[in-house]
Structure 1
Amino acid sequence: MKILSVSDNVLEQMENATNLTRVYGDCEILISCGDMPAHYLEYISSVLSIPLFFVRGNHDTEYEVGRPGGDNLHERLRYYRGLSMAGLEGCMVYNRESVQYTEMEMFRMVLGLGVQVFIHQLRFKRPLDVMVTHAPPRGIHDQNDRTHRGFRSFNLLISLYRPRYLIHGHVDVLDRRTQIQTRVKDTEVININPVKVLTL
């Protein structure tokens, strides 16, 4: 399955229907790792006629009920054509607006999600396919400032649940030499900002 994943930065070429269908026409699902305008996600999903799954980023504070159209993965495990996905929204708290969490708050959410993940593993005898987050794990693709610091809870998540992939956004890649993909135990951690196609 080909997954089109986006986050953080609106790209002009993604708002061109001809370009979208030419480059991404074979993708089967759209996943947003956050900080994306609702209309942008809805446009991509509509042009490509593929379902949208998403988590909110720290700037997605004004999403309306039912927008963007799609399935919010936050603290939920969902399936699409055999692909298993779960998600956790937000980033490390820095000014106490919504969609920001302390390490302890995120730790509780990681443990809460674990019930669904363990049931999945018992039922299907295989790991979660894709863990979708906005922020990265601590020490992996993150930065030292509080706003872009990763969650240690996500390192625990990788150790406990061992998803095949953990995809995130939040951190802009301004230097091509910046590492955006890291193998941690059984998990490929990938910064997909601003766009990346994954083949599972």
Structure 2
Amino acid sequence: MRILCIADEENKGLWDHFDKGKLKDIDLILSAGDLHSDYLQFLVTMGKAPLLYVHGNHDQGYEKRPPLGCECIEDKVYDFKGLRILGLGGSFRYKPGDHMHTEQEMQKRIQKVKKDIVLKNGFDILLTHAPVKGYGDMEDLPHQGFQAFEDLLQKYKPKYMIHGHIHKSYGDAYKQERMHSSGTKIINAFDKYILDIGEDEYPNEGKTGSFLYDLYKQVTNKKGRGTL
């Protein structure tokens, strides 16, 4: 599966100088936040891949003009052909805003979504806007990482974490790839990043190991084929 990961800055090669061939092999687009709504709509319209997103701290405009044709996956585990993606957007709260959170607020969000994590027997990708504490974050409050993400990675050990928020121009804090002590590969999706995931890196659809969820997927898939 080939995934286009994007965050923070619209890629001119994908928008201003668009060539449809650049999206032809993309199976899924993941936005880690702080991108113009029109940009997301453009990518999902011009390509064949669905687009899933979480909010950045500057995405308050989505409330009035959401990116049409795209799907917000905040506070849930989204199943894309067996690939399980947990969405937790926003940054540290440094002023009033809908997509900014204290450490305690992020902890509460994670507690609420744990039922979905357990139901689907974990997740393969953690999609956030902010980084995890201690891995590419910064000392100033707006760019601090969440300890809650550290705890989440240590417990569930997903294959990948995809975030934004730390721009290339920020200096030493920016690094496109990092390895977390849990074994999770952390990817900063600033601008764009192409992620190729092998079929052996996530379960087949309906084969998560969760009896209830796998049964649900088998039944709904049969209904979709008109055999039940």
Query: Scaled by the length of structure 2, what TM-score is found?
Result: 0.80
Q: Aligned equivalents of 1:177 and 1:145: distance in 2?
A: 12
Q: Are the counterparts in 1 of residues 34 and 58 from structure 2 also a CA contact under 8 Å?
A: yes
8 Å contact 2:131–2:137 — kept in the other structure?
Answer: yes
Question: Quick check: 2:28–2:51 contact (8 Å CA) kept in 1?
Answer: yes
Alignment partner, residue 113 of structure 1: 113
Native 8 Å contact 2:14 2:22 kept in 1 = no
Distance 1:177 1:104, change over 3 A: closer
Which range moves more in the overlay, 7-16 or 164-173? 7-16
C-alpha RMSD over aligned residues? 1.8
Superposition deviation, residue 58 in structure 1: 0.4
Q: Report how far residue 130 of structure 1 moved.
A: 1.0
Structure 1 residue 97: Cα displacement: 1.6
The answer for the alignment partner of 2:177 in structure 1 is 181
- 1:112 is matched by which residue type in structure 2? K
| C-alpha contact (below 8 Å) 1:141/1:180 kept by paired residues | no
Residue 186 (structure 1) shift: 2.6
Asked which structure has the greater CA Rg, the reply is: 2
Which amino acid in the other structure matches residue 196 of structure 1? Answer: Y
Q: Percent identity?
A: 28
1:18-38 superposed Cα distances (whole Å, 9 cap, x missing partner): 42x223320111110000111
Alignment of 1:45-194 (within 5 A): 45-64=44-63, 67-69=66-68, 70-121=70-121, 127-174=122-169, 175=171, 178-184=174-180, 185-194=182-191
Pairwise CA distance, 1:128: 1.3
CA-to-partner distance for each residue in 1:92-115, whole Å, 9 max, x for gaps? 000122200000000111222222
Distance 1:101 1:194 in 2: 24
The structural deviation recorded for 1:161 is 1.8
Pairwise CA distance, 1:64: 3.5
Q: Structure 1: state its 5+ residue gaps.
A: 122-126
Cα deviation for residue 4 of structure 1 reads 0.6
Q: State the SS of the aligned residue for 1:31.
A: strand
Aligned residues: 194
Structure 1 114/108 Cα, relative in aligned 2: closer, same or farther at 3 Å? same
